[in-house]
Copies of this chain bind each other. A is one copy, B any other.
Amino acid sequence: MAGNSFGDVFRITTFGESHGEAIGVIIDGCPPNITIDETFIQSELDKRRPGQSKITTQRKESDTAKILSGVFEGKSTGTPLAMVIPNEDQRSKDYSHIADKYRPSHADYTYQIKYGIRDYRGGGRSSARETAARVAAGAVAKSFLSPFGIRIFAHVSGVGKIEAPNLATHDVDELTALRESNIVRCADPATANEMITFIEAIRKAGDTVGGRISVVIQNVPVGLGEPVFDKLHADLAKAMMSINAVHGFEYGSGFAGSEMQGSEHNDAFVNPEGDAKNLKTLTNFSGGIQGGISNGMDITFRVAFKPVATLMRAQQTINEAGETTEITGKGRHDPCVVPRAIVIVEAMAALVIADHLLKNQLYDQTRTK
């Protein structure tokens, strides 16, 4: 109801404000006997951690996740897996100047009216800091998916008007190496340099810019997704749209596909392996999903992020008393969120796939094999 949980079977509930004691997550429904590797969880958190490079916020947080339950001798037990990430560098004073001011295009005003109370420090619950808990949970979801051979890869495909070319390869290891070779996390190094230069200029101007993240999920078995309201792409859409600053989602052919004709858009079935239960399609405008159910091809989608709302320059606004006032971003903020957001996008995708993979097991016993 209050919407701090996501997923039905592999279900997470997050808690915590940007400047409270801690943030964290409970995973309820993590299957037992999954190997839980804290080093891997940390490496995922490190990809989202602030202060990584000159194009990200300088806020210092080690973002160390501590496991409180659900793991025994390195394996999940099937009981709730709780993780806590303490808030360290809180600098609440940074925010005193905005205690009663509504930051433009932030959640201050809507929270105040909805709840009649809010923790204004760093945006409180509306801070993207909440997504660190999602990343920790997503790392566990990835550990569950890994033995199935399921791979999720996201990279920055667009910053402002700069757009990367299509991926040069389908090898996730190569793609990851290319992506991690640059601080903007674009798998095309040439475009990456362009993006970095642009973001630096934007940052110097005290401004911010939006961007786009493209995702491919490989080796998803046929059958994931429930066909009416819980279509696989509908749940992916909700997962992505629930990430701070996201304004758009498309899968497969997306918006461009709506300009096409059926005769070009239809994906023809073929049977390369002579296995009637393992067909392929010549094209993949369907983005790996047909009728809301995965068809065994790569699942592809794209996510659009608006520019960060906090600017390092003066803006006019209104305060809680309704009076006109002025505001200037202090604190420490990102000029562009997408480089840090790729791991959040991957985490939410992993959570959706894990949830649907488990749901699909419910058909195993009765399905005609």
Contact = CB atoms under 8 A, between A and B. Distances in A.
Interface-centre pick from A26, A34, A252, A310 (highest chain B CB count, 10 A): A26
A207 B235 CA distance: 30
A68 B110 contact: no
Interface residues of A, number: 154
A362 B361 contact: yes
Oligomer copy total = 4
B79 A15 contact: yes
A255 B258 contact: no
Contacts of A208: 261-263
Contact of A311 (B237, B254, B266): B266
Nearest to A312: B262
B291 A107 contact: yes
A315 to B, nearest CB: 7
A117 B72 contact: yes
Interface string A287-310: 100111111000000001111111
Given A113-B222, A125-B227, A307 B3 contact: no
Interface in A1-52: 1-6, 8-9, 11, 13-17, 20-24, 26, 28-29, 31-34
Contacts of A362: 1, 9, 29, 31, 358, 361-362
A242 interface: yes
Nearest to A120: B72
Contacts of A268: 104, 315-317
A347 B291 CA distance: 20
B211 A258 contact: yes
Given A1-B11, A79-B124, 16 more contacts: A2-B226, A4-B26, A15-B28, A20-B68, A22-B82, A31-B365, A77-B118, A110-B293, A113-B222, A210-B265, A230-B242, A248-B248, A248-B250, A249-B250, A257-B304, A276-B322
